[in-house]
């Protein structure tokens, strides 16, 4: 097996997998303005991937462009046998690795005994890792999880069980499932997490509340991490991994236009979408969460954002922002 994680310069910095966020349109903004060492896809259901009727739609979420390498497919589910089959399928799609989601706190995912529900079922979690490895023997299989389900002090038992299965890399969101993202990440627990990983001989990455690349570098050095993953800190900021922090509001608005056009081309009712995904589109309303991130902290941001929330397509976004740029003076 070629484990690309071992070949990356340390520390490495990655863009977190986020549902309805880290699609190819979003990733392409980072390709253009500051690419991370590794991208992850949105998480994909192994059940959907193996369903004859649902597969074509699910494969849309696994689409990537050649300039997005290194890129890892993230999957979730609860049945080791399905992870084996899904891994075999993914191995033929050109990905650099597979990541297993064992940390999603969404209630609908937990009801499926998937995501963070696996924290309460370590024996199944181990079986899933082993099955995924067998299904894709030439790809590194990593795991993303949290420090525990209800209490931070669960981390030693839970992570210890995961590490027995020897994933290629372990990423730990430094919060419990119950905490969601409502409390500060427990960076004080990073030394314990790193010690467990080092003892098992597994690469370790952490994430939670990272606002800048400089901060990520400090965390990596301070806690001897192999890497740091960035999630919400990269919203509306495709320059994050370049280290640039002096981005003007005008630049952000121009990228919002660019991002909207890319999203519509890939996921709207377009020729591109028909050719790539057979007409499986996404709702343009997904862009609203991005507008909230691109359009803030400058005079007139609130009314502009409100107008963008009503936009139905990329052309309307462009017209609204261009009108604003002509009528306002932005730094």
Residues 316 and 322: their CA atoms lie apart, in Å, by 10
Q: Region 258-281: what's the mean pLDDT? A: 97
166 and 36 co-located in one domain = yes
> Per-residue pLDDT for 330 more than 60?
no
Residues facing 39 on adjacent strands: 71
Residues 269 and 280: their CA atoms lie apart, in Å, by 8
Provide the CATH number for the domain around residue 80. Answer: 3.20.20.70
Angle at 276 between CA 318 and CA 84, to 5 degrees: 125
> Per-residue pLDDT for 205 more than 80?
yes
160 and 234 co-located in one domain = yes
57 and 147 co-located in one domain = yes
216 and 309 co-located in one domain = no
Pull the structure tokens for residue 140. 């590194």
How many separate domains does the chain show?
2
Q: Region 54-62: what's the mean pLDDT? A: 90
pLDDT in tens, 242-267: 999 899 999 999 999 999 999 999 99
The per-residue pLDDT of the chain, averaged, comes to: 95
Asked if 176 contacts 154 with a C-beta cutoff of 8 angstroms, the reply is: yes
Last residue of a domain, one of 242, 263, 288: 242
Rounded to 10°, the helix 314-327/249-267 angle is 170
pLDDT reported for residue 1: 77
Pull the structure tokens for residue 321. 């922002």
Residues 180 and 274: their CA atoms lie apart, in Å, by 37
Catalytic residue among 72, 104, 234, 262: 104
Residues 119 and 155: their CA atoms lie apart, in Å, by 10
pTM recorded for the entire structure: 0.94
pLDDT reported for residue 274: 96
> Per-residue pLDDT for 329 more than 70?
no
Please, what sign has the CA dihedral across residues 282, 285, 289, 291? positive
Residues 41 and 104: their CA atoms lie apart, in Å, by 14
The secondary structure of residue 6, as a DSSP letter, is G
Last residue of a domain, one of 202, 217, 242: 242
pLDDT reported for residue 123: 97
Confidence of residue 326 (pLDDT cuts 50, 70, 90): confident
Asked if 55 contacts 45 with a C-beta cutoff of 8 angstroms, the reply is: no
pLDDT in tens, 159-168: 999 999 999 9
207 and 294 co-located in one domain = no
> Per-residue pLDDT for 173 more than 90?
yes
Nearest to 238 by CA among 191, 287, 294, 318: 294
113 is catalytic: no
- Which residue segment(s) compose the domain that 63 sits in? 4-242
DSSP string, 237-298: -TTGGGT-----HHHHHHHHHHHHHHHHHHHSSSHHHHHHHTT----GGGGHHHHHHHS-SS
Angle at 32 between CA 26 and CA 37, to 5 degrees: 80
> Per-residue pLDDT for 229 more than 80?
yes
Residues 292 and 240: their CA atoms lie apart, in Å, by 17
Angle at 120 between CA 115 and CA 125, to 5 degrees: 60
Please, what sign has the CA dihedral across residues 292, 298, 302, 308? negative
pLDDT in tens, 60-75: 999 999 999 999 999 9
211 and 270 co-located in one domain = no
264 and 227 co-located in one domain = no
230 and 289 co-located in one domain = no
Rounded to 10°, the helix 155-164/190-200 angle is 30
Last residue of a domain, one of 215, 242, 269: 242
Residues 29 and 262: their CA atoms lie apart, in Å, by 9
213 and 104 co-located in one domain = yes
CB atoms within 10 A of CB 64: 19
214 and 256 co-located in one domain = no
**Sheet-wide strand order for 169-176:** 12-15, 227-230, 203-207, 169-176, 141-148, 97-102, 71-76, 39-45
């Amino acid at each position: 097996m070629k484990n690309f994680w071992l070949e990356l310069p340390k520390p490495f910095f990655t863009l977190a997998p986020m549902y309805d966020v880290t699609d190819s349109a979003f990733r392409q903004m980072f390709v253009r303005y500051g690419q991370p060492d590794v991208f992850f896809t949105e998480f994909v259901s192994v059940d959907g991937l193996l369903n004859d009727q649902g597969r074509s739609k699910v494969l849309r979420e696994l689409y990537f462009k050649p300039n997005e390498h290194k890129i890892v497919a993230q999957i979730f589910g609860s049945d080791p046998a399905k992870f084996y089959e899904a891994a075999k399928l993914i191995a033929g799609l050109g990905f650099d690795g597979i990541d297993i989601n064992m940390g999603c706190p969404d209630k609908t995912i937990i009801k499926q005994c998937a995501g963070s529900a696996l924290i309460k079922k370590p024996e199944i979690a181990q079986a899933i890792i082993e099955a995924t490895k067998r299904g894709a023997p030439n790809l590194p299989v990593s795991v993303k999880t949290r420090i525990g389900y209800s209490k931070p002090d669960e981390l030693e038992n839970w992570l210890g069980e995961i590490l027995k299965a020897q994933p290629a890399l372990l990423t730990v969101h430094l919060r419990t499932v119950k905490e969601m993202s409502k409390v500060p990440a427990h960076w004080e627990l990073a030394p314990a997490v790193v010690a467990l990983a080092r003892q098992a001989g597994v690469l370790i990455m952490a994430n939670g509340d990272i606002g800048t690349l400089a901060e990520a570098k400090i965390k990596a050095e301070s806690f001897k991490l192999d890497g740091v993953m960035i999630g919400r800190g990269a919203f509306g900021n495709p320059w994050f991994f370049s280290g640039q922090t002096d981005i003007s509001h005008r630049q952000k608005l121009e990228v919002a236009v660019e991002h909207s056009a890319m999203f519509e081309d890939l996921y709207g009712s377009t020729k591109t979408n028909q050719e790539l995904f057979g007409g499986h589109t996404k709702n343009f309303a997904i862009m609203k969460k991005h507008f909230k991130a691109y359009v803030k902290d400058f005079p007139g941001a609130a009314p502009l954002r409100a107008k963008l929330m009503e936009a139905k397509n990329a052309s309307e976004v462009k017209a609204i922002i261009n009108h604003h740029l002509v009528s306002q003076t932005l730094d």
